């Protein structure tokens, strides 16, 4: 804020330079005109003075613009430094001893708000046991993405807590946390380079063989060949790929990270229904102990999941097991399948 305010003050001064330039020109013309009428100087002399003063002010304007740009750059730098100090201050560096690789993800009485005028999530209590598969649904703006960020420890709750294997996420160092909980957002970030280089951007930098194995397990070998293989260039930040292709790479990359909990936030929304179905089916087959939390609007995606949590205006309004899952878990009646949170 301080840097931005300073930049604004400098910008105002740039406008002041233009004002002074205009006033000086008026004064020069007035005095010149008066001197010409008194035959003290010729019109040519006045013109020369005006041109010379413009040259002088041009360099002043250039200088003040440069000062303005420096001020803007300082604002950017101040933001970056703030961001760096904010992220390093929040994350503890000491590893938590004995934290298991797999565990239950829980949120208990979680409130979270972006603004001061009231929370966007209210008292959310949910448990995701190891290996469970859960769909999260709700209208636009109901808080699904916000919940996904809380579940991954990207946001800290205002009240309540989010824990993995009993340890609050806020107390886990980033290394341990990111190894266990991975989020695939709708907008997958790629870097300029090849497909393989992008897929290797996970813990342990998987080699070519590991990448090919993961692609095969997800049934995507043919798809990747169509793209040009692992050495295909993705363009600047993935610009050469479609949104759906970027999403597929995002899911493959998440699988390579082999997390305990995989959260997909609309991560297959831009993929055609047939490929999405194949990919979701493959994800389900992956590892029995990998917890899967899938936020989706597409009914077919949700229908494939045994448990569905519904959010409405930031509250959990239903936590429901599908008929098959309920039968498997010994739930006798349809009524009991709906458990209001």
Ligand X SMILES: Nc1ncnc2c1ncn2[C@@H]1O[C@H](COP(=O)(O)OP(=O)(O)OP(=O)(O)O)[C@@H](O)[C@H]1O
**Binding interface with Mg ion (CB under 5 A):** 144-145
Q: Give the one residue of 53, 75, 145, 275 binding ligand X; rule: CB under 6 A.
A: 145
Contact string (CB under 6 A) for ligand X, positions 85-114, x = contact: -----------------------------x
Element (DSSP H or E) covering residue 310: strand 307-312
Examine residue 120 and tell whether it contacts ligand X (CB under 6 A).
yes
Side-chain-facing half-sphere of 122: CA atoms under 13 Å:
11
CA-to-CA distance for 339 and 341, rounded, in angstroms?
6
Q: Give the one residue of 141, 204, 226, 228 binding ligand X; rule: CB under 6 A.
A: 141
3-state secondary structure of 104: coil
Per-residue DSSP letter, 194: B
- Nearest residue (CB) to ligand X, 162 versus 256: 162
Examine residue 301 and tell whether it contacts ligand X (CB under 6 A).
no
Closest CB 268 distance from ligand X, rounded Å: 14
141 binds, among Mg ion, ligand X, none (CB under 5 to 8 A by kind): ligand X
138 binds, among Mg ion, ligand X, none (CB under 5 to 8 A by kind): ligand X
Choices 19-27, 134-142, 203-211, 316-324; region in contact with ligand X by CB under 6 A: 134-142
Question: What single string gives the DSSP state of each residue in 282-298?
Answer: HHHHS-TT-EEEEE-S-
Examine residue 146 and tell whether it contacts ligand X (CB under 6 A).
yes
- Nearest residue (CB) to Mg ion, 7 versus 136: 136
**Residue ranges of the alpha helices (H) in 38-103?**
43-90
120 binds, among Mg ion, ligand X, none (CB under 5 to 8 A by kind): ligand X
3-state secondary structure of 308: strand
Choices 54-62, 137-145, 194-202, 244-252; region in contact with ligand X by CB under 6 A: 137-145
Buried b (16+ CB within 10 A) or exposed e, 241-257: beebbbbbbbbbbbbbb
Could you say which residues in the range 16-35 bind ligand X, by CB under 6 A? none
Across the beta sheet with 261-265, the strand order is 181-184, 261-265, 291-295, 133-138, 307-312, 315-321, 338-339
Choices 79-87, 141-149, 153-161, 223-231; region in contact with ligand X by CB under 6 A: 141-149
Q: By the 8 A CB rule, do 96 and 171 touch?
A: yes
Closest CB 111 distance from ligand X, rounded Å: 13
3-state secondary structure of 96: coil
Binding site for ligand X (CB under 6 A): 114, 120, 138, 140-146
């Amino acid at each position: 804020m301080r840097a931005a305010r300073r930049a604004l003050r400098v910008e105002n001064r740039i406008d002041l330079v233009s004002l002074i330039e205009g006033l000086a020109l008026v004064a020069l013309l007035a005095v010149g005109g008066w001197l010409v009428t008194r035959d003290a100087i010729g019109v040519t002399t006045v013109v020369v003075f005006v041109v010379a003063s413009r040259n002088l002010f041009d360099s002043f304007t250039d200088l003040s613009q440069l000062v303005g740009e420096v001020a803007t750059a300082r604002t950017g730098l101040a933001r970056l430094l703030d961001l760096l100090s904010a992220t390093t201050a929040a994350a503890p560096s000491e590893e938590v001893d004995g934290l298991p690789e797999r565990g239950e993800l829980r949120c208990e009485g979680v409130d979270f708000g972006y603004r001061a005028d009231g929370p966007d999530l209210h008292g959310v209590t949910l448990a995701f046991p190891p290996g469970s598969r859960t769909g999260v649904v709700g209208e636009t703006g109901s808080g699904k993405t916000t919940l996904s960020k809380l579940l991954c420890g990207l946001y800290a709750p205002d009240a309540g807590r989010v824990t993995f294997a009993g340890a609050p996420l806020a107390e886990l160092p980033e290394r341990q946390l990111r190894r266990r909980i991975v989020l695939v957002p709708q907008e997958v970030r790629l870097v300029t380079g090849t497909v393989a280089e992008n897929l290797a951007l996970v813990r342990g930098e998987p080699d070519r063989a590991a990448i090919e194995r993961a692609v095969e397990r997800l049934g995507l070998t043919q798809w990747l060949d169509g793209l040009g293989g692992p050495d295909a260039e993705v363009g600047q930040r993935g610009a050469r790929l479609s949104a759906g292709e970027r999403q597929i790479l995002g899911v493959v990359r998440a699988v390579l990270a082999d997390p305990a909990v995989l959260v997909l936030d609309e991560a297959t929304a831009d993929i055609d229904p047939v490929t999405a179905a194949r990919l979701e089916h493959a994800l389900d087959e992956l590892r029995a102990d990998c917890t899967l939390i899938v936020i989706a609007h597409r009914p077919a995606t949700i229908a494939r999941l045994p448990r569905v949590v519904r959010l409405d205006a930031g509250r959990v309004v239903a936590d429901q097991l599908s008929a098959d899952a309920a039968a498997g878990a010994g739930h006798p009646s349809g009524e009991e399948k709906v458990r209001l949170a």
